[in-house]
Homo-oligomer: A and B are copies of this chain.
Amino acid sequence: MNGAEVLLRALVDSGVEVCFANPGTSEMHLVSAMGRTDRMRPILCLFEGVATGAADGYGRMADKPAATLLHVGCGFSNGMANLHNAKKAHSPVVNIVGDHATYHQAYDAPLATDVPAHARICSDWVRVSESAGDLAASGGSAVKAAMAGNGKIATLVVPADHAWEPAGASTSKPDFDPPGRVAEESVKKLAGLIRQGKRTGLVLGGRALRETALVAAGRIAEATGADLLCETFPARLQRGAGRVTVNRIPYFAEKGAAFLEKYEQLILVGGKTPVAFFAYPGKPSLLAPDTCAIETLATVDEDAAAALEDLADALGAGGNPVRRKLLRDVSRPEGRLTPETIGQSLCRLLPENAVVVDEAITCSQPIYTASEGAASHDWLAITGGSIGFGLPVALGASVACPDRKVVALQADGSALYTQQALWSMARERSDVTVVLLNNDSYAILNIELARVGAGKPNGKTLSMFDLGNPAVDWVALSQSLGVPAVRTETAVAFDRQLETALKTKGPRLIEAVVPVSLERIFG
């Protein structure tokens, strides 16, 4: 066996089943090895940002890593934006990055790059293999590193000669470390703090937003009056009918500050201290008031569900929290198509156990709110704020959960960073319904422009956020990449198309025309 073959075997033996691949010449032996086994499913992506975003979506849903296969530093850099999001989501991901053969690296060939320097920027763990024989252990270590805590980004750099040289027949199957348990004293201390009667919010993030943890959090809320707060961009929030309700911290700094104003203490459970997404002149970076104490029950890498259960027990909380009701009986929306009516349709029609990927940007909040009573589902948000995450993450989520319907709520401007994901969806027959929210603009930037105090914009300034010249033909674009598509301009038309799409297996795109009102933004 050569190095590529033992690496592949180590990945497979460690539980990796899927590889989102965009290889080049230095990865040919890995491609060849993947071609000769049934134990790894290679999924070709036409751009590296699709591969890394798909690995993020896969990791969020499978709680174990997919591999990516990337080509030298330049290929890796194309995948960095979505690795940034994956890292902020605490997704487990294993990147395999080919590099020039070791002896070739001295010659400054055209594609010579400092691959480890790239990798360090958005990885938690980086290793460069030292020989072909090293690749079995390195592959296992990479998976182990990716499985640490909630999930980590592990990047293994493989010089081409290590892939092609003989490597024996070794493999590696690491033991994974379970997430750390929160100490009893910590739980007791926090129970004491909650009992003091201060106005308390639990800031839930990471796996504290999964069903079991939410039930425990809901017991605490019922017993103590503490509020359950959800980080603004959850990696995976289990919500909808039958689930315990959480309140998301608003995106805009001043709204977030107003939302948190009343709290005397915030207890972090897999979440972080709430901060503004961006700084704005004269507005605070920290959203909680100065007088609010910030305590930690569990970091994102600790076992949040167990910690919450322990805390609920320590507080003597009862068995069952309030759960959200199913709101299936909302009427079919009529009239103008808006984010609100889209949320209403989603609430009516979303099948049980769906996965919703939210890169709806300015349309997100109304859809989120209107769909709170939909059948239970998972909601995946843009954790790192780097746009172009939605379509790739939807692809990866669908690969991880082929029996669940995936709905991608996708803003038009952001979609244009990684629209190549549509092609992989068509190729893999992914069961994804893309709701393409078309406002022909970077609507969020109009809003941000109004907020940063840069003065009233003129036509030239506004043209820099205008995607209507020319208008993108989304139906043609989607179909050109193999995904059937339809355009809707009324609430009824959208509702009908969504109903059909959600009942039909396979990828489909519904363009939802939701014009943005500049008057409303700039007055």
Q: What does the 1/0 interface line of A378-390 toward B look like (CB < 8 Å)? A: 0000011110100
Could you tell me the distance between the alpha carbons of A458 and B28 in the complex, rounded to whole angstroms? 13
Tell whether A469 is near chain B: CB-to-CB under 8 Å.
Answer: yes
A123 at the interface (CB under 8 A from B): no
Chain B CB within 8 A of A169 CB: no
Quick check: A110 and B88 within 8 Å, CB to CB? yes
- The stretch of A44-52, A242-250, A489-497 that contacts the partner chain: A44-52
A449 vs chain B, min Cβ distance (A):
5
Q: Which residues of B contact A285 (CB under 8 A)?
A: 103-104, 106-107, 109
Closest to A165 in B: B281
Interface status of A416 (Cβ within 8 A of chain B): yes
Tally of contact residues, A, Cβ under 8 A: 100
Q: Provide the bound-state CA to CA distance between A74 and B386, in Å.
A: 6
Instruction: Render A25-60 as a binary contact track against B, CB cut-off 8 A, 1 for contact.
Output: 110110110111000001010110100000000000
Given contact pairs A44-B463, A78-B417, a sample of 5 additional A-B residue pairs in the complex whose CB atoms are under 8 Å apart = A29-B454, A35-B459, A75-B386, A100-B279, A476-B477
Within 8 Å CB of A479, what residues of B? Answer: 473, 476
User: Is the pair A28, B454 in contact by a Cβ cutoff of 8 Å?
Assistant: yes
- List chain B residues, Cβ under 8 A from A385: 74, 109-111
A480/B469 in contact, CB under 8 A: no
User: How many Å lie between the Cα of A44 and that of B420 in the bound state?
Assistant: 20
A258 within 8 A of B: no
When chains A and B are docked, how far (Å) is the Cα of A26 from the Cα of B469?
24
Residue A523 at the chain B interface, CB threshold 8 Å: no
Q: Which residues of B contact A233 (CB under 8 A)?
A: 110
Min CB–CB distance A439 → chain B (angstroms): 15
Does A405 make an interface contact (CB < 8 A)?
no
